Amino acid sequence: MHFDNLWPRIRNKLVTLSLRRRGVSVRDKVVITGKLPRVVNLGAIALGYRVKFRAPSHKIRLKANPNATISIGDRTFLNDGVVVNASVGISIGKHCLIGDGVEMFDTDFHQIEEGAEVTTAPIKIGDNVWIGREALILPGVEIGDHSVIGARSVVTKSIAARVVAAGVPAKPIRSLTASDSFVRR
């Protein structure tokens, strides 16, 4: 084994142990390049096999509020500055690619108008979904398997499987061909 490869492996093992000490369920090991994620775990956070965090300049933030859950599937990749903030639940499938600065909030945090309730609803991201840079995913959204969300889109409503959606608010702009076994690289 080359010594050049030794430190990243040791660091990833130490980070995995640190996450587990903070109550994060880690199926195998976490792979981290750059800054360590900021984790606030007042609920439950579960990471699948080989979840990868890449944060050379901005920390990735995971926050599960009391009684909330965050689950991130096997081999999902989170990029620089991603924010996942759950008040109820946010589920991200396997083999997803989450771009720089993407933010996911399952609550509006405040009333929109007098007498209205605060909107809170779980978010579900399917398998093999690619979410482009600085997209915003809002409460109650479900994104189907193999879909792509364009950069800087604001996703306010659910998106079907195998489509490209973009815009403010995000709308499907074309369908995609993707077999069930297809995984993006």
* pLDDT tens digits, 41-100: 999 999 999 999 999 999 999 999 999 999 999 999 999 999 999 999 999 999 999 999
* Within a domain: 90: yes
Contact indicator for 46, 19 with CB cutoff of 8 Å: no
Mean pLDDT over residues 13-31, rounded? 89
Contact indicator for 149, 130 with CB cutoff of 8 Å: yes
Question: Is the pLDDT score of 3 beyond 70?
Answer: no
Q: Does the annotation count 95 as an active-site position?
A: no
* Within a domain: 39: yes
- Integer-rounded Cα Rg, in Å, for the chain is 17
Q: Rounded to whole angstroms, how far apart are CA atoms 53 and 82? A: 9
Residue 94's pLDDT is 98
Domains in the chain: how many in total? 1
* Within a domain: 95: yes
Question: Is the pLDDT score of 162 beyond 80?
Answer: yes
Which residue type occupies 53? F
* Within a domain: 183: no
Residue 172's pLDDT is 98
Contact indicator for 110, 117 with CB cutoff of 8 Å: no
> Given 2, 58, 95, 110, which residue is catalytic?
110
* Within a domain: 184: no
* Within a domain: 124: yes
Q: Where are the alpha helices (DSSP H) in the chain?
A: 3-21
* Within a domain: 67: yes
* Within a domain: 132: yes
Across the chain, mean pLDDT equals: 94
> Where residue 131 sits, what CATH number does that domain have?
2.160.10.10
Domain that holds residue 84: 3-175
Q: Between residues 22 and 95, which one has the greater pLDDT?
A: 95
Residue 4's pLDDT is 66
Instruction: pLDDT band for 138, please (50, 70, 90 cuts).
Output: very high
